[in-house]
Amino acid sequence: MRPFTFFAAILILSVGAGPALAHIALAETQARAGSYHVVVFRVGHGCGELPTVRIRISIPAGIAIARPQPKPGWALSIAKTAERVTAIEWTGRLEADQFDQFAVMLKLPSEPGRLYFPTVQRCVAGENDWTMVPAAGQSDRGLKAPAPMLELMPADPMPAAMDHMRM
């Protein structure tokens, strides 16, 4: 094989591998602090060619309420410590060439900041641990397997009851 052809083949293979390196991401990455908000976790693929059979999302300590949306064909379990939900897990089957979404309604903390949701994607064989959280003051860019992150913006200064006056 000629050197140019060899390097071109490597480049094509590495570009083609891009989608397999995608991660579990949030449909919306920002929400208002102190609000009720539905967070949607998007699962874009399985583990290589293998189907996903379980999604487990850890719920950050500052979350007061976490209520998962049931999914037809998936079993749902909720882990709690005392009254607080610590993790939500869906067990079912998502083929590797398909995507799906898993939703949780949350009562968000009242302070702005970042919330990380370490997530484990279990496949028929193996798993992807989307659990990396950057150190304080560091960016999550460059993390190999970043946990899904929700940025809490300052609470809306005008109460929802006053919405009709905003026009």
Question: Measured between alpha carbons, how far is 79 from 102 in angstroms, rounded to an integer?
Answer: 16
Question: Measured between alpha carbons, how far is 147 from 116 in angstroms, rounded to an integer?
Answer: 6
Nearest to 155 by CA among 28, 29, 35, 30: 35
Q: Report pLDDT for 26.
A: 96
Phi-psi region of 59 (alpha: psi -120 to 50; beta: other; left: phi over 0): beta
Q: Report pLDDT for 4.
A: 43
Domain residue limits, the chain? 22-133
Beta bridge partners of 90: 55, 76
Close Cβ partners of 110 (under 8 Å, ≥ 6 residues apart): 33, 34, 155
Q: Report pLDDT for 86.
A: 98
pLDDT in tens, the chain (167 residues): 444 443 333 333 333 333 334 579 999 999 999 999 999 999 988 888 999 999 999 999 999 899 999 999 999 999 999 889 999 999 999 999 999 999 999 999 999 999 999 999 999 999 999 999 998 888 778 889 999 999 999 987 765 555 444 44
Q: Report pLDDT for 63.
A: 95
Dihedral of the CA atoms 100, 106, 109, 111 (nearest 10)?
50
pTM: 0.79
CA dist list (Å): 75 to 22, 55, 119: 25, 11, 17
Close Cβ partners of 135 (under 8 Å, ≥ 6 residues apart): none
Q: What is the CATH number of domain 22-133?
A: 2.60.40.2230
Q: Report pLDDT for 161.
A: 53
- Could you say which DSSP state residue 39 is in? E
Beta bridge partners of 75: 91
Residue with tokens 């641990």, as numbered in its chain: 129
Q: Which two tokens stand for residue 94?
A: 């998502």
Q: Report pLDDT for 139.
A: 79
